[in-house]
Structure 1
């Protein structure tokens, strides 16, 4: 019998050799699992889009990034779940109420996707600003990596950038792009040059945040940059 990490109820799961010999057993019950909706949208960012004859296409947002900005610093974003009401509450419990154990709900999927889609990428986590780190006591992106090896090479130095992205005005977002809050640690440049990087974060909304980090990695010599997030809104 196992105990669901989300609802805390006990549940039975089928016993097999796979479960006995692998530690990555199911962490949540079938009821909670059913509330998590898998993404299957835009071929580049996983934005929910209509399929045509069961084929996935690039969304207008991704096309706009290249058209308006003269190129997209992010090759691809892969998100695991849609940002529905259930996941929104789950991530709030994880990030703002300090239930760090909930990271284990997602670690198996993160490992699986990295192995299958980004096997030759160097993994890095999107950092928090010092003030946000002090407030929460942990970095939610780092916790999602579990025991995976990753390259700690980014910093987030602007303490006045703590306002939530969804709460910012258009003028504040433009100013943020002009004053990139991310930077690469100077002593890490040599390790970055010529490598592919995968940025881990919790939510992809407009993609602006991971792209700002991607710009800094590319300027430091990275060959290309993609991202992997838990949720796609």
Structure 2
């Protein structure tokens, strides 16, 4: 028996071989809270690049197996920078509330309830990729005391490699127009040289909490190019 990380109700988590012999109770969410989430991978059609549900878009925003946003990314200088993104959930009102509590009110334990889902996402799409968490700026770290992307990456079955550092924090992507998001701007990401050799010529999956416009993961992918990764993809909790 354990308690839901969100509502606090007692529930019995499902028994799995991976947790059968653990001494501590599995941390997670009750069925009622889980039903408030909107899993993306259940959609019949996903954009082959960003992983958004094509079923939820008007036909004029879809061309073949790609959404219109990704068509724009691939039509310019960002073509081929990112192999693909896959996300667990749509960013609905419930997940927004949960993420606000997690990121801005310091409830870091909430991310632990997604461990099994994050590991399944990794095994399904990114097996053998090295997880690289998206860093936050020193000023943002001072505000929050933790990096949410690193906490996510530490739940994966492969140890993350924090090879990137962030020198400054850009304006939130959600506050920019589409044309502003597609413009070439100063890249906030640079390599942390001490760990750069660990990822040379390896496939990399960038780990972040939310895929909003795709700008952040593409800038991070661009900063990794000099390491000659065989592939660069991204995985996020929400889309």
TM-score band by shorter chain is 0.7 to 0.9
TM-score by length of 2: 0.84
Matches within 5 A, 1:130-145: 130-145=138-153
How many residues get paired?
225
- Counterpart-to-counterpart distance in 1, 2:163 and 2:213: 23
Query: Secondary structure in 2 aligned to 1:120?
Result: coil
Offset of 1:187 from its aligned partner?
A: 3.1
Offset of 1:42 from its aligned partner?
A: 1.4
1:63 aligned to 2:55?
A: no
Cα pair distance change 1:67/1:80, threshold 3 Å: same
- Counterpart-to-counterpart distance in 2, 1:171 and 1:49: 22
Question: Any stretches of 5+ residues in structure 1 without a counterpart?
Answer: none
Structure 2 equivalent of residue 202 of structure 1: 209
- Counterpart-to-counterpart distance in 2, 1:30 and 1:218: 42
Structure 2 equivalent of residue 157 of structure 1: 167
CA contact (8 A) 1:156 1:183 kept: yes
- Counterpart-to-counterpart distance in 1, 2:139 and 2:36: 33
Structure 2 equivalent of residue 27 of structure 1: 28
Structure 1 equivalent of residue 61 of structure 2: none
Offset of 1:75 from its aligned partner?
A: 0.3
RMSD over aligned CA atoms reads 2.5
Offset of 1:229 from its aligned partner?
A: 0.2
Question: Any stretches of 5+ residues in structure 2 without a counterpart?
Answer: 57-63
Q: Structure 2 residue aligned with 1:218, among 225, 231, 236?
A: 225
